[in-house]
Structure 1
Amino acid sequence: MPVARHVQLSRDGVVTVLEICALAAVYYGSARLGLLQQLVRGQVTPLWPPSGIAVAALLLRGPRLWPGIALGAFLVNVSLGPSLPAVLAITAGNTLAPVCSYALLCRTGFRSELDRLRDALALIFLGAFTGMLISATTGGATLVLAGVLSTEGFWPTWSVWWTGDAMGVLVVTPVLLLLSSARRPKDVAPRRWLEALLLAAATAGVGVVETGRVPLMFLGFPLLIWAAFRFQLAGAAPCALAVSTFAIVTATRAAGPFAGHGLLTNMITLQAFNGSASLTALLVAAVISERNETQREIARACGQLAGMVATIATGEYRPMRPEREGKGVGETDGNGGPADTKRPSPHP
């Protein structure tokens, strides 16, 4: 038994190390992809996918994977940071932020299915907006102390940093949680596939218009409602990711509603739009999921009641009588005669 237990622990340790290495590699790769849209000093971007990947990894595999986040963040920042102490400080902030988000979500009883309204609200306001304050504040303050940024440049940089990390959680984490529980659909009607294709085509069309010079970003909201209402999280999460990505591309090009404004104003506008889009998609999807679950529970209850009524109608239903402590009317004493249910008077 001790040998078998030692072998099992060794296997678990190897699996954990492999998962940590895989998370670090995915973190690094997604960071390089996110830096393609960098806005400030070559290292601050309005969409930071690694933050969403980190939160999803902690929710799915547990806090034991935090070294993978730290390793990935260090590999990304070591070639961007001005000095080793600054790199370590930024790495610490990038690691603590998703860990804090994970802890806050666990305190609320978060479920990765995102099928409840409370789960969607927790992910938005605790996982994204609150937890990512740590990385943005740590990163911005580190760049100022290292002399990379001036004091006046702290808030614009902080706004972009916080926007990027929060958007990573809002649009990337739901997609990863969805993929982790995805199952091959069975007996899906062809018209449902056709509707999904139409939704995808409409989203792509809106993206082409949105990234152009015409300020029509609001066209994404009907698509988000359509996706959430008809496909719940399976449609809302990818659609929100696409709409937010189109908005970020538009912001980096300073086109549409982002033309002619400063960086801080554009980041506030972008954060408001992407936050509203994610909020709409996740909340509508959660409400529809709760409604569907309630309908299924009502159907199950009606089925049980119908079965009981059918059993009673056929005369096969025999309700159990509760046991009585004393003898009552119709009961007999030990000699076969009727039992006296009256208590004797205490006085002669």
Structure 2
Amino acid sequence: MSVARRERLRRGAMTVLEICAVAALYLGSAKLGLLQQLVRGQVTPLWPPSGIALASLLLCGPRVWPGIALGAFLVNVSLGPSLPAVLAIAAGNTLAPLCSYALLRRTGFRAELDRLRDALALIFLGAFTGMLVSATTGSGALTLAGVLSTADFWPTWSVWWTGDAMGVLVVTPVLLVLRSARLPKGMPPSRWVETLLLVAATLGVGFLEAGSTPLLFLGFPLLIWAAFRFQLAGAAPCALAVSTFAIVSAAERAGPFAGHDLLTDMITLQAFNGSISLTALLLGTVIGERNQAQREIARACGQLAEMATKIALGDHRPTFPDDKDGDREGEGAKEAHHGRAPGRA
């Protein structure tokens, strides 16, 4: 067997493993999401598979789309009223992240999420625009199958769309951050203590959200703390945790969700989750971009100080970084000064 053929087989095997992993993650996260379904046993206020699907496309490329399709089919085959409806819903759940992926690629999106433009693209193109496909296809399939009445189409569509969009806004940034996450070397103990305090505070706020007192707003100081101190690496997981606690509270009709009808609870919950995710994503990205700019300015100042020192010491021809042409010209001038042609012995 030739080396090229072995390499093709290895790549094919890796692709199959990636597809299976995406399908398994999609199916597992869907089971978790369906634990908190609020509409028709099939529509949830936060649909994690949409975030996992888009993140897998951004990290692995479009070759893993069969895993998304397989996972969507396996999830809906036990829920859908008929096979055509299941196929339509699975197709919509597959096309939605593919559309989001295509839109993000056209804008030059970077998976590092280190620019404000990347955060805005993920919000408006990845979440709000791309997820229109799955909501429209799914709600239309349920209506045509007779599960939904015409009057229930738009309420179901709105919950479906916001659930998929929240999945992208809350889950996708966490997965993209985890891809590049590394344990910091030489981090002082005080930083570890601060991390543990942030985790403990997040858990405490989560329990307060599920209590009888409406204290949802306590999540915002945590997000600000996480974003300023840990940038998106801290803000994104914090937003996911706070949103999860709010969803559990809404499903149990506890805290600020007690004593209201379903529509009021859904509006309150989605407004809160949207505010949490947007705050974490935008604030974490802006602060990370600011810190990067400060590092670049400090590096440039160091280079200028080095050149100023050389000039003060009498070297009036400072060498810029990576200025190879300037070095060659200087060598040629020296050789010409000594009576030799440049480039000859």
Please say which structure displays the higher CA radius of gyration.
1
Q: Partners in 1 of 2:289 and 2:16 — Cα distance?
A: 38
AA matched with 1:181:
S
Displacement of 1:5? 2.2
Q: For 1:155 and 1:270, how far apart are their aligned partners in 2?
A: 18
Shift of 1:184: 1.8
Q: Equivalent residue for 2:8? A: 9
For residue 254 of structure 1, report the CA deviation from its aligned partner: 2.3
- Within the alignment, does 1:291 sit opposite 2:296 as a pair? no
Which of 204-213 and 84-93 deviates more?
A: 204-213
Contact kept, 8 Å, 1:163 with 1:267, in 2: the verdict is no
Alpha-carbon distance, 1:195 to partner: 1.0
Instruction: Tell me the residue number matched to 2:150.
Output: 151
1:204 alignment partner in structure 2 = 203
The alignment's TM-score, normalised by the length of structure 1, stands at 0.89
| One-letter amino acid matched to 1:200 | V
Question: Which residue pairs with 2:136 in the alignment?
Answer: 137
The letter for the 1-side match of 2:65 is: W
Rounded Cα–Cα distance in structure 1 between residues aligned with 2:186 and 2:61: 34
- Equivalent-residue separation in structure 1 for 2:186 and 2:59 (angstroms): 28
Distance 2:258 2:150 in 1: 25
Give the match for residue 47 of structure 1.
Answer: 46
- SS for the counterpart of 2:32 is helix
Which residue does 1:178 correspond to in 2? 177
Q: Which residue does the alignment assign to 2:162? A: 163
Whichever structure has more helix as a proportion of its residues is: 2
- Aligned positions, number: 321
3-state secondary structure, aligned to 2:2: helix
Structure 2 residue aligned with 1:110: 109
State the distance in 2 between where 1:103 and 1:152 align. 33
Runs of 5+ consecutive residues of structure 1 not aligned to the other structure? 324-348
Distance (Å, rounded) in 2 between the aligned partners of 1:160 and 1:315: 71
1:159–1:268 contact (8 Å) kept in structure 2: no
Matched, 1:228 2:224: no
Do structure 1's residue 277 and structure 2's residue 247 form an aligned pair?
A: no
Query: Structure 1 residue 165: deviation in Å?
Result: 1.0
Question: What pairs with 1:121-132 in structure 2 (closer than 5 Å)?
Answer: 121-132=120-131
Supply the distance in 2 between the matched residues of 1:121 and 1:255 (Cα, whole angstroms): 33
2:335 aligns with none
CA RMSD between the two structures: 1.7
The alpha-carbon deviation at position 316 of structure 1 amounts to 2.5
Letter paired with 1:277 = I
The percent of aligned pairs where both chains have the same amino acid is 78
Give the Cα separation in 2 of the matches to 1:289 and 1:176: 17
Shift of 1:6: 2.5
**Cα distance in 2, alignment partners of residues 87 and 216 from structure 1:** 39
Q: Distance in 2 between matches of 1:318 and 1:60?
A: 46
Deviation per residue, 1:94-150 (Å, 9 max, x gap): 001111111111111111111111111111121111111111111111111111111
User: Once the 2 structures are TM-superposed, how far is the Cα of residue 283 of structure 1 from its aligned partner?
Assistant: 0.9
